[in-house]
Structure 1
Amino acid sequence: MISDTLIPDTSMTETNTDKDHIKATMKDAILKAAEKVFSDYGFEGASFRAISELCGAKRALILYHFKSKDALWKAVAEDVKTRFLTQFSAYYHEAELKTDLQKSRQLNVAFLKAARDVPEYGRIILHEGLTPNERIKWMSQELKPELVTMPDLQDPFLIEASLSGLIRHMQAGALLYLGSMGPLIAMDTEDADTLLSDASIEQFADYFQAITLARMDQLKQLEEMQKEQVEE
């Protein structure tokens, strides 16, 4: 639940600065409440009533700040994306990366850790991806930062593997696992504490790296076969 400290006390005498602070604080409280509701129930399942119960703002005040439910959802998605990218960038650049394979692996480590730290990112994507809607197109353009799917690479086979959607497909599977299947498995195996540990994420990154290397080998073999056919 949103902390009571986020709900401004309007009983005091207000200066213009006070009013601006109160507005900003309430807007932030609404945003945090909406993030919780949208990530739990999706756009269609979210209601102004649920958001109001969390932040204390009535529907009219919510619409004063965000104009519409769609605008509020987009504001939440943008905020979640910003926090996700901040975490991703920090994790990606914490390691010294000299080779393309190191970059590829660290990209997966950073993505998984950021998805763990900002679970709302995956939950919002998963909710809206369940049924056709206008938000899917918006997400494909706004919530798919290039850094996450295409690091600065030189190896042509690794670049081709990335462009073919391999990294994106693995990341989609990771979001599904981290957001739904993983917690269920953890509960069943009494392994909840280790599911999202750094060690588990490093292991996942190794799995993804093995898949990437296998795809690179396939691409190399395909290129060799094509060369042989041309020579014949």
Structure 2
Amino acid sequence: MNLRARQKAATQASILQAALEIFSEQGFEGASTREIAAKAGVHHALIKYHFDNKDALWRSAVTFLFQRQARELQLPAPDDPAYQSYRDFAKAVIRSVVLYSARHPEHARLMVQESVRDSERFRWAAEEFIVEARKAAESFILLCQREGILPKVSVAASVYIFVGAAQLFYTLAPEVRQVWGLDPSDPEVIEQHAEALSAILVR
């Protein structure tokens, strides 16, 4: 990739990250492309140049989000010899999900914004990305149930209990700071969260 192509990719990534943060804070309707451009540190005209309109920008941002999740959330394999037991494997998965949630609180915030509205954009995201992510979560829960790590209860409920517990601490970070006096971005606090969730979920 030449210098110009790298610069273009970097500009697009900056715009997409800014879009994720603004959309997750204000929702699609409340967000403005001018504010997104300002947050990204680029001229407003570059939004239209790269993404045409706000809807296209939202979909590109969500694609960017899930592609990044696929890269960063590299879950271990259950038969990885690094783990002496399925319980060790389960704890490693829980820690990976917590670390990802801590790095990217905008992920859950954005999905909550659109899911609550049951928007056409959300249904598109569900079909394109979330249904596939659900398969991985379901497989993890079923394995844990089979190995006696988790109780044999509703798989769907178990997935949302796990994912919700991993994400909510960061989705509601301002509340955590105000009420508990904790900084959810502090590495030590993140590790404590991962340890607590493992202790609660892994029998």
TM-score higher than 0.5: yes
Aligned to 1:3: none
Give unpaired runs (5+ residues) of structure 2: none
Aligned to 2:16: 31
Aligned to 1:170: 162
Separation of aligned partners in 2, 1:100 and 1:173? 21
Aligned to 1:205: 198
Query: TM-score normalized by structure 1?
Result: 0.67
Larger radius of gyration: 1
Separation of aligned partners in 1, 2:67 and 2:151? 26
* Alpha-carbon shift at residue 194 of structure 1 (Å): 7.2
Partner letter of residue 23 of structure 2?
Answer: F
The correspondence for 2:181, drawn from 190, 204, 209, is 190
The Cα offsets for residues 163-197 of structure 1, whole Å up to 9 and x where unpaired, read as 344123331343233201x5413332322247842
Check whether the contact 2:165–2:197 (CA below 8 A) recurs between aligned residues: no
Separation of aligned partners in 2, 1:89 and 1:174? 16
The correspondence for 2:130, drawn from 143, 166, 177, is 143
Q: How many residues align?
A: 191
Separation of aligned partners in 2, 1:127 and 1:196? 26
Partner letter of residue 202 of structure 2?
Answer: Q
Separation of aligned partners in 1, 2:25 and 2:44? 20
Cα 1:87–1:26 shift into 2, 3 Å: closer
Give unpaired runs (5+ residues) of structure 1: 1-16, 211-232
Separation of aligned partners in 2, 1:105 and 1:131? 34
Query: TM-score normalized by structure 2?
Result: 0.74
* Alpha-carbon shift at residue 73 of structure 1 (Å): 1.1
Q: Report the secondary structure of 2:166's partner residue.
A: helix
Aligned to 1:74: 59
Separation of aligned partners in 2, 1:19 and 1:105? 43
Q: Report 1 or 2 for greater relative contact order, CA contacts < 8 Å, sequence distance ≥ 6.
A: 2
Partner letter of residue 28 of structure 2?
Answer: F
Separation of aligned partners in 1, 2:91 and 2:6? 44
Partner letter of residue 78 of structure 1?
Answer: T
Give the fraction of aligned pairs with identical amino acids, expressed as a percent: 22
Check whether the contact 1:31–1:72 (CA below 8 A) recurs between aligned residues: yes
Partner letter of residue 170 of structure 1?
Answer: F
